Amino acid sequence: HHEPAVPACAADTTKPWCLKDDEYPTYEIKHAAETHYEKLLSLYADVADLDTSLSVERPKILEEETYLCPSETAYVKPLRAINTEGKWRVIVNDIEVHYETLTQTTRIEECLTSGYACPLVPECYESKCLQKSIHHRFLVYDAYDQYFPFAIETFTLPASCACLLGAYTIDH
């Protein structure tokens, strides 16, 4: 018995992650987490120390912000996602173990006009909005590893939206 290549939660989204998952194995993860508590905590500590709220310096007031390319920013707690090897994985999130809740939150920023010319940039410059990504490490649960069903794996997530400028051209 193996998980389907694409989980049911991915049916309603084009994104490589699920924030809602009706088939999320909460009970199985909790049970495995209690069984392997000590070893799991040392792995979790490796990813939990990454406080995403501190990782991005933000202006205090919105008037200070000007972006060349429009984007949408969110703090998310994915339940499943596609890892850098192209496989859907179950991410440990909102799991209570020994009075502690294991959560993994990350900041994502998605370009709204990826591939299109940057607004506010004169047409004499070749420009386009570009989705930039970052590798993020998450603690995952693998039901088929009977010895230790937890691991840290890498996922590619959208991190920022940049404006790529080409050469200056003068059309006569």
Instruction: With cut-offs at 50, 70 and 90, classify the pLDDT of residue 169.
Output: low
Summarised one tens digit per residue, pLDDT across range 122-152 is: 888 899 999 999 999 999 999 998 899 999 9
Q: Which of 30, 37, 150, 46 is nearest to 94 (CA)?
A: 30
Q: Report the C-alpha gap between 115 and 155 in whole angstroms.
A: 23
Q: Report the C-alpha gap between 112 and 163 in whole angstroms.
A: 12
Summarised one tens digit per residue, pLDDT across range 71-128 is: 999 999 999 999 999 999 999 999 999 999 999 999 999 999 999 999 888 888 899 9
Cβ 107 vs Cβ 55: under 8 Å: yes
Q: How far is CA 29 from CA 36, 59, 68, in A?
A: 10, 39, 43
Residue 165, SS3? Answer: strand
Instruction: With cut-offs at 50, 70 and 90, classify the pLDDT of residue 47.
Output: confident
Residue 18 or residue 62, greater confidence: 18
